[in-house]
Amino acid sequence: MPLRTRPWLIPLSILLCLLSTGFRGHAQTPARPNVLLICVDDLRPELNSFGVPHISSPHIDALAASGVSFRRHYVNAPSCGPSRYTLLTGRYGPAGNNALFQRAKDTTGVPPSMPEWFRRRGYVTVSIGKVSHHPGGRGGPDWNDDAQPELPGAWDRHLMPVGEWQHPRGAMHGLAHGEIREDAAAMDVYQSVPGDDDIYPDGRITAEALRQLSTLSADGDRPFFLAVGLLKPHLPFGAPAAYLDHYADVTFPPIPHPAKPTGKTTWHGSGEFRRYHNWGKDPNKDPVFAEAVRRHYAACVSYADAQVGKLLAELKRSGADANTIVVLWGDHGWHLGEHAIWGKHSLFEESLRSPLIVRYPGMEQAGATSRAVVETLDIFPTLCELTGSEAPPFAQGTSLRYLLEDSTATGHPAIAYTASATTVRTDTHRLILHDDGFVELYDHTSPAGETVNVADDHPATVESLLSILRAADLATAKR
């Protein structure tokens, strides 16, 4: 009789080996899932799958079709540094771009970051590109000083390929073929150059990410936490010409509510955008230039989408997709002329809403869309629950597992802040509280949306939303 039908004849040495390895068969406890976190810089919900049909984003759209898309995900700060602080720590923090460097200086009583939390639990943690504020996660004049990490103890490997851009600082705002921003006024605000994806820094970041993903997938001894940070569509808007060609015959819709708001708001003069060489043109006064800016932003979105496609293809090729949670996250939104702003940094909807897509193996709601209000703080506890890790007691967000299982469930208020104001977004309203006590209230059930301040007409709503901000104690967190 064949041995496989008579288990009592298995030699004792083999039986002990099988017991020690967990039998490595159908009875084995499933391996802990991997995590692939894709961070995209300055990505507003400018995606076909998020209801923007003139945008070409097939790879992110495919991810959305296999996961759950959060249409009303809000970041906790409309700027790269503090937004990534909340993602990577699960906590509110300082409002400036040096938020993580401030945290790194405090060596006592600081809770572990999200990657450190997973690293302590046996994960191999690898970061490539712009995951924290500086690509590569280091300080110093050129952002490559190993003695100044943004996230001490977080990463087994923290990589930033720089190619002809010389260093991470050069790659951050790099244009084609190694052009580095030394004087923003001498660098074009947008650019489109013929060539392959590697002529811009994101091509190099993706190539390294593919190498790391291949290595991590082949090593099945430990689960991995791989974070990949793409730079585009951050300013300046540079992408290979093939991506701009997508939009040669595309009609862009009119800019909604393009007028500068009246009264006190968090409006600003688009200083970051205007630092660059704009050929003496103002997009608020020159509709041809405004459309060119929008087209080049769209080209950058399509370029970033192509890099996401490469990552997902390698994940599938390796077989690791069967046991990998994928999260795609935009670090904040970006105004393309709404409220006469070209940039981020306001507390309007356009600065704070960004894409969030979550996919995990075996999910029953693949392709679902959630309209629940959620926030970036929720990602850390969500990943802990999805991987079976204990919830971090210090995290200030809420796991979204229940929404991943029932996309029709309700969310919770989303809080955000700048150095001089805070805001809370609910299902129906946005309230903005300035540090001098002035209040803006916008009714999202009204067609006027965030163009008419109705605070004086709804004192009870104002007080209710102020109580949410008071409970968050943001003044303490922002110090």
What is the secondary structure of 48-61 as a DSSP string? GGGT-TTS--HHHH
Residue 428 forms part of a structural domain: yes
Examine residue 414 and state whether it is found in any structural domain, yes or no.
no
Same domain? 405 vs 466: no
What does the pLDDT average to over 218-226? 92
Fill in the DSSP letter of residue 333. -
- Burial-class residue 299 by CB neighbours within 10 Å (0-12, 13-18, 19+): buried
Query: For the domain that residue 191 is a member of, what is the CATH number?
Result: 3.40.720.10
What is the predicted pLDDT for the residue at 220?
78
Q: Are residues 311 and 435 in the same domain?
A: no
Same domain, 115 and 209: yes
Q: Give the DSSP H or E segment for 18.
A: helix 12-20
pLDDT category of residue 21 using cuts at 50, 70 and 90: very low
| 17 is a catalytic site residue | no
Give me 214's structure tokens: 């291949």
Q: Among 409, 441, 470, which residue terminates a domain?
A: 409
Residue type (1 letter), 370:
S
> Would 301 be classed as within a structural domain?
yes
- Do 101 and 161 share a domain, yes or no? yes
- For 1-160, strand residue ranges (E) read 34-40, 68-74, 124-129, 138-139, 145-149, 157-159
Run of H or E residues at 290: helix 287-318
What pLDDT score was predicted for residue 16? 36
Under 8 Å between Cβ of 54 and 250: yes
Tell me how far apart the 2 most distant CA atoms of the chain are, in Å: 89
- pLDDT bracket for residue 30 (50, 70, 90): low
Say what the pLDDT of residue 5 is: 30
386 and 428, same domain (yes or no): no
Which residue range forms the structural domain that includes residue 335? 32-409
Structure tokens at 149: 């990490």
Q: Which residues pair with 322 in a beta bridge?
A: none
Say if CB 129 and CB 230 are below 8 A apart. Answer: yes
272 lies in the same domain as 302: yes
- Mean pLDDT, to the nearest integer, of 311-337? 98
What pLDDT shows up at residue 76? 98
Residue of 39, 59, 73, 80 marked active site: 80
Q: Answer yes or no: do 359 and 457 share one domain.
A: no
Going from the C-alpha of 479 to that of each of 90, 100, 113, 266, 376, the distances in angstroms are 16, 13, 18, 20, 20
Residue of 156, 70, 91 whose CA lies nearest to 359:
70
**Domain match, 79 and 127 both:** yes
**Contact of 376 with 329, CB cutoff 8 Å:** yes
Query: Where a domain ends, among 364, 382, 409?
Result: 409
Q: Any idea what DSSP says for residue 176? A: G
Say if residue 320 is in the same domain as residue 453: no
Cβ atoms of 53 and 298 within 8 Å: the answer is no
Percent of the chain whose predicted confidence (pLDDT) is above 70: 93
Find residue 343's DSSP bridge partners: 335
Q: Are residue 102 and residue 175 in the same domain, yes or no?
A: yes
Q: Please report whether residue 216 resides in a domain.
A: yes
Q: Band of the pLDDT at 221, cuts 50, 70, 90?
A: confident
pLDDT confidence bin for 184, thresholds 50/70/90 = very high
The answer to whether residue 136 sits within a structural domain is: yes
Residue 434 and residue 475 in one domain: yes
Q: Distance between CA 84 and CA 88 in Å, rounded?
A: 6
Strand stretches in 242-360, DSSP E:
324-330, 335-336, 342-343, 356-359
Q: Calculate the dihedral angle through the C-alpha atoms of 460, 464, 465, 469, rounding to the nearest 10 degrees.
A: 140
Over the stretch 356-407, which tens digit does the pLDDT of each residue have? 999 999 999 999 999 999 999 999 999 999 999 999 999 999 999 999 999 9
3-state secondary structure of 232: coil
Residue 384 annotated as catalytic:
no
| 63 and 307 Cβ atoms separated by less than 8 Å | no
The CA distance from 94 to 385, in Å, is 27
DSSP for 426-465, written as a single string: -SSEEEEEETTS-EEEEETTSTTBTTS--GGG-HHHHHHH
Catalytic entry in 59, 73, 133, 234: 133
Say which residue the tokens 């809000």 belong to.
74
Q: Are residues 197 and 257 in the same domain?
A: yes
Rounded Cα distance between 339 and 283, Å, is 12
Sign of CA dihedral 45, 46, 47, 52: positive
Residue 59 in domain: yes
Q: Is 425 helix (H, G, I), strand (E, B) or coil?
A: strand
